[in-house]
Amino acid sequence: MYLAHLRLRDFRNYARLDADFTPGFHLLLGDNAQGKTNILEALYLIATLRSFRGVGGAQMVRHGQKGYFVGTNVVGQGSHDIKIYWSSQKRNLSLDAQPVRKLTDYLGVLRTVVFCTEDLLLVKGVSRARRRFLDLLLSQTYPAYLPLLQRYTGALRSRNALLKQPTLNTATLDSFSRELVAAGNEIMRLRRDLVPRFLPLACQAYQRIANGAEELRLEYQPSVRADFEVELAQSRRREAAYRSTIIGPHRDDLELLLDGRPAAQFGSEGQKRTLAIACKLAQAEYLAGIHGSPPVLLIDDIMGELDEKRRSGFLPLLDRAHESRGQVFMTATEENWPKELGREVRRWRVEGGAVVA
């Protein structure tokens, strides 16, 4: 799978960009604040319809403009044209010149995994970062997951709105509760099933790049202990105090343990960093295994900062990308693409919102 073309209009600091890309490795070189990460952000946006910087559409519109356009041609099984337009008034998403009606028809046309400094939040950040990681992995492998998550979130919002009303309509609350429990049980089941399948890949990646030999464990920690319906009913008194739903998959966590201790509290900075990268490597390997070819890898700035051991963790993935005509985009401020990864690399210079070969 690879992107043959990228077209940007009024996206971040790009007034207009048209670039053709071959399969293989692309190195985006340039000083700080020139637009390297913005390119990766656009590629990730095509794949997920979100920014990996966690911002909304308005921030990606070039200053002083009304809306942005991102277009691409993805070559995988077949060739697909994608067009995304966003403004505060209007959003358009089209696949092969047809408006996209169902997200499930769209997601999966391009799969990416991004490696960036924010990955550390997976280990150090709040549980939301880890839920997002699980959710992304599930939606990249199981088309029905996203609609399911949307169903759950919809029920949760309605239920929370109701709990904030001065007088509680219990009949309506019960109907939202049933919807919440039905969707929630399915989400928990999928998350619980995922973890043991993902764990061996994360352990392997960790062993490959860690200097010590700590044992890695990932434990799914659902907020529901045994029976969602029963526990939700039992939480009613506390719910009335908090005026929101305090139990359910929106409160789940994924615990990351090194030698049995939570990495966030007891790991060294180096271990945390290694663990975050291992999770991302495992994500890419998991997707490669399921779909038969690796996702497009977006590697932002980190390669030059990693020691040789950690860099070597990328080798199996890079080999696989190479064999299957996949694609890798890396950014760097100077020529610091490590030699031992030695491959044919196409170099691009990024300067002030322009990209030249």
Ligand X SMILES: Nc1ncnc2c1ncn2[C@@H]1O[C@H](COP(=O)(O)OP(=O)(O)O)[C@@H](O)[C@H]1O
CB of 87 to ligand X, least distance (A): 13
User: How many angstroms separate the CA atoms of 343 and 270, rounded?
Assistant: 27
Classify strands 296-300 and 327-332 as parallel, antiparallel or unpaired: parallel
Residue 193 or 305 having the CB closest to Mg ion: 305
CB of 28 to Mg ion, least distance (A): 9
| 63 C-beta neighbours (distance < 10 Å), count | 8
**H helical segments located in 164-268:** 170-209, 228-234, 236-242, 263-266
Q: Which of 6, 8, 12, 271 binds ligand X (CB under 6 A)?
A: 12
The residue type at 148: L
DSSP secondary structure code for residue 21 in this structure:
-
Q: Site size for ligand X, by CB under 6 A?
A: 16
Shortest Cβ distance from residue 352 to ligand X (Å)? 8
Q: Residue 130: in which H helix or E strand, if any?
A: helix 127-141
Residue 64 CB, shortest distance to Mg ion, in Å, is: 22
Answer for the pair 75, 6: CB distance below 8 angstroms, yes or no.
no
Residue 292 dihedral angles phi and psi, to the nearest 5°: 85, -10
List 32, 89, 167, 265, residue binding ligand X (CB under 6 A)? 32
Cβ proximity to ligand X: between 220 and 348 the closer is 348
Q: Footprint of Mg ion on this chain (CB under 5 A)?
A: 36-37
User: For residues 342 and 319, what is the distance between their CA atoms, to the nearest angstrom?
Assistant: 11
Q: Does 191 bind ligand X (CB under 6 A)?
A: no
Residue partners of 142: CB distance under 8 A and separation at least 6: 190
Pattern of binders to ligand X over 104-123, x per CB under 6 A? --------------------
Q: How far is the CB of 352 from Mg ion (least distance, A)?
A: 14
Coarse DSSP helix, strand, coil percentages of the chain, rounded to the nearest 5 percent = 45, 25, 30
62 binds, among ligand X, Mg ion, none (CB under 5 to 8 A by kind): ligand X
In the complex, the smallest distance separating the C-beta of residue 348 from ligand X, rounded to whole angstroms, is: 12
Task: Work out how close the CB of 111 gets to ligand X at its nearest, in angstroms, rounded to a whole number.
Answer: 22
5, 13, 94, 208: which one binds ligand X (CB under 6 A): 13
Q: Could you say which of 7, 62, 159, 272 contacts ligand X (CB under 6 A)?
A: 62
Stretch that binds ligand X, among 31-39, 70-78, 80-88, 121-129 (CB under 6 A): 31-39
Q: Which is nearer to ligand X, 28 or 181 (CB)?
A: 28
Is 82:95 a contact under the CB 8 Å cutoff? Answer: yes
Is residue 62 left, alpha or beta, with left meaning phi > 0 and alpha meaning psi from -120 to 50?
beta
Contact partner at residue 32 from ligand X, Mg ion, none, CB < 5 to 8 Å by partner kind? ligand X
Phi, psi of 233, rounded to the nearest 5 degrees: -65, -40
Residue type for position 5: H
Q: Among Mg ion, ligand X, none, what binds residue 13 when CB lies within 5 to 8 Å by partner kind? A: ligand X
Binder of ligand X out of 20, 33, 233, 290 (CB under 6 A) = 33
The correct pick among 1, 7, 8, 38 for binding ligand X (CB under 6 A) is 38
Q: Is 260 buried (19+), middle (13-18) or exposed (0-12) by CB count in 10 A?
A: exposed
Binding stretches for ligand X (CB under 6 A)? 12-13, 30, 32-38, 59, 61-63, 331, 350
